């Protein structure tokens, strides 16, 4: 038997190889091998890092992998079947480039390539320290209110992280706005970790994560809006002028003070204003007479802008005048009806009181007209500062005829 086996061993081995070949060929035909890139990126885990160390500089690294596996394995392959990790068990401090290890749990399957093949990160020892809390208050409360000193808890924080970054942190800052507030502010705020140049420091954790800030806002006193009125007016405008209007800007001011004082005031007067000899509108800043215990909120100072509008005193005059005929062609005569018109004038009082009536003329311009009946608008000539307010009637009838009486040019 042993002789037979020894004589036919090579034939038996060849038969086995041929059988395996035909089996493999049949299997490959039914379930071909496929080499392809897995569709999703694989997250890389960090394993074996000592508790006294920490890493940063590689946030959530991922890799793409090429896998060689039968088509049947590919059909059932999921991301949970693939592990990618770096082993940090024996890592040193400093900037490190660690190879990525990828394992496939579905079998049969092999990893062909990993991209990227390594992950670069920084490894440091973990340290911690305490830093002060700084509150930066921005803005100002509403008018008539003030912010009292800030209350904060805790007043220090503990930061933990990579040694080089922890050493950079000098304070934890919280910015809080009280702009326009009329009531106290209290809340929990997340601090910002800053270095000595006011730059933010990341990759460092802080305990506790929130700071409780309380900023009391108090009212300075009783607040009220009070109207402004003029104080004594000294002197008189120049002769022929008068004060037509008096305006304040602002007409109402906001004050505060002790409740009793504020409630006792109904208006605020200006200091005396001089009108002596003025002939034109005057705009000026005037102080207000403030009672003791009363302070101004708005405007900031106890002053207002006063505008005194000055105008000329005017007078009126009514005259009945006979129109003068002008421009009538020779050989014609004109009949005017009515014989006179009423002229109403106005002007500065001083001018009207000294007006010479002979300087006022009413005329009818008949130049270029021939025989016929017309309605003519009178023209009134007056001195420069006098205004014509009205003419009654506004137009008069005129009849032009050929002159029959040599001694009568017109009547």
The b/e string for 299-337 (b: 16+ C-beta within 10 A; e otherwise) is eeebebebebebebeebebeeebebebeebeeebbbebe
E-strand stretches of 71-216: 82-87, 94-99, 101-104, 110-115, 118-138, 145-147, 151-153, 156-162, 171-177, 185-189, 192-194, 205-207, 211-215
Encoded tokens for 122: 């920084």
Per-residue pLDDT, 29: 57
Per-residue pLDDT, 410: 43
Strands in 241-249's sheet, in edge-to-edge order, are 241-249, 303-312, 282-287
Per-residue pLDDT, 254: 86
Q: Give ∠ CA 121-127-129 in degrees, rounded to 5.
A: 135
CA distance 262 to 297: 13
Phi, psi of 193 (to 5 degrees): -85, 125
Q: Which regions in the chain score pLDDT beneath 50?
A: 22-27, 409-411
Beta carbons within 10 angstroms of residue 378's beta carbon: 21
The single-letter DSSP state of residue 275 is: -
Cβ neighbours of residue 59 closer than 8 Å, sequence gap 6 or more: none
CA distance 43 to 146: 54
Per-residue pLDDT, 175: 94
Say if CB 248 and CB 267 are below 8 A apart: no
Smallest CA-to-CA distance from 176 within 139, 202, 141, 124 is with 139
The single-letter DSSP state of residue 184 is: -
Residue 273 buriedness (CB in 10 A; 0-12 / 13-18 / 19+): middle
Helix (H) or strand (E) holding 346: strand 341-348
Per-residue pLDDT, 285: 92
Q: Model-level pTM greater than 0.75?
A: no
Per-residue pLDDT, 292: 81
Per-residue pLDDT, 121: 93
Per-residue pLDDT, 392: 87
CATH numbers and ranges of domains, the chain = 33-116 (2.170.120.30), 125-219 (2.170.120.40), 222-312 (2.170.120.40), 315-402 (2.170.120.30)
DSSP-based helix, strand, coil % in the chain, nearest 5: 15, 50, 35
CA distance 227 to 267: 5
| Sign of the C-alpha dihedral computed for residues 57, 59, 64 and 65 taken in this order | positive
Say if CB 283 and CB 247 are below 8 A apart: no
Say if CB 272 and CB 231 are below 8 A apart: yes
Per-residue pLDDT, 211: 94
Per-residue pLDDT, 2: 58
């Amino acid at each position: 038997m042993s002789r037979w086996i020894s004589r036919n061993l090579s034939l038996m081995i060849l038969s086995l190889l041929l059988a395996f070949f035909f089996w493999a060929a049949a299997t490959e035909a039914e379930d071909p091998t496929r080499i392809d890139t897995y569709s999703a990126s694989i997250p890389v885990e960090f394993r074996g890092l000592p508790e006294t160390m920490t890493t940063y500089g590689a946030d959530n690294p991922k890799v793409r992998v090429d896998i060689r596996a039968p088509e049947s394995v590919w059909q059932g392959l999921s991301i949970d079947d693939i592990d990618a990790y770096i082993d940090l068990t024996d890592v040193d401090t400093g900037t490190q480039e660690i190879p990525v290890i990828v394992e496939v749990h579905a079998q049969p399957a092999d990893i062909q390539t990993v991209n990227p093949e390594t992950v670069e990160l920084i490894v440091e020892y973990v340290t911690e320290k305490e830093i002060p809390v700084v509150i930066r208050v921005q803005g100002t409360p509403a008018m008539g209110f003030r912010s009292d000193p800030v209350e904060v808890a805790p007043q220090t924080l503990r930061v933990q992280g990579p040694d080089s970054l922890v050493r950079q942190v000098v304070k934890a800052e919280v910015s809080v706005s009280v702009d326009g507030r009329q009531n106290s502010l209290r809340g929990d705020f997340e601090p910002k970790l800053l270095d000595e140049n006011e730059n933010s420091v990341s990759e460092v954790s802080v305990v506790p994560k929130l700071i409780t800030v309380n900023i009391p806002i108090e009212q300075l006193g009783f607040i009220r809006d009070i109207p402004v009125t003029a104080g004594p007016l000294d002197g008189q405008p120049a002769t022929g002028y008068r004060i037509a209007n008096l305006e304040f800007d602002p007409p109402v001011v906001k004050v505060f003070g002790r409740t009793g004082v504020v409630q006792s005031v109904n208006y605020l007067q200006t200091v005396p204003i001089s009108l002596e000899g003025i002939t034109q509108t005057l705009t000026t800043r005037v102080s207000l007479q403030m009672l003791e215990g009363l302070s101004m909120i708005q405007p900031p100072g106890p002053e207002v802008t006063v505008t005194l509008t000055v105008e000329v005193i005017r007078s009126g005059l009514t005259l009945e005048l006979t129109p003068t005929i002008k421009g009538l062609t020779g050989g014609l005569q004109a009949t005017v009806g009515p014989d006179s018109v009423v002229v109403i004038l106005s002007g500065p009082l001083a001018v009207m009181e000294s007006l010479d009536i002979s300087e006022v003329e009413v005329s009818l311009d008949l130049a270029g007209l021939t025989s016929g009946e017309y309605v003519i608008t009178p023209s009134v000539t007056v001195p420069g500062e006098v205004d014509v307010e009205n003419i009654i009637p506004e137009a008069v009838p005129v009849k032009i005829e050929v002159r029959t009486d040599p001694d009568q040019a017109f009547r």
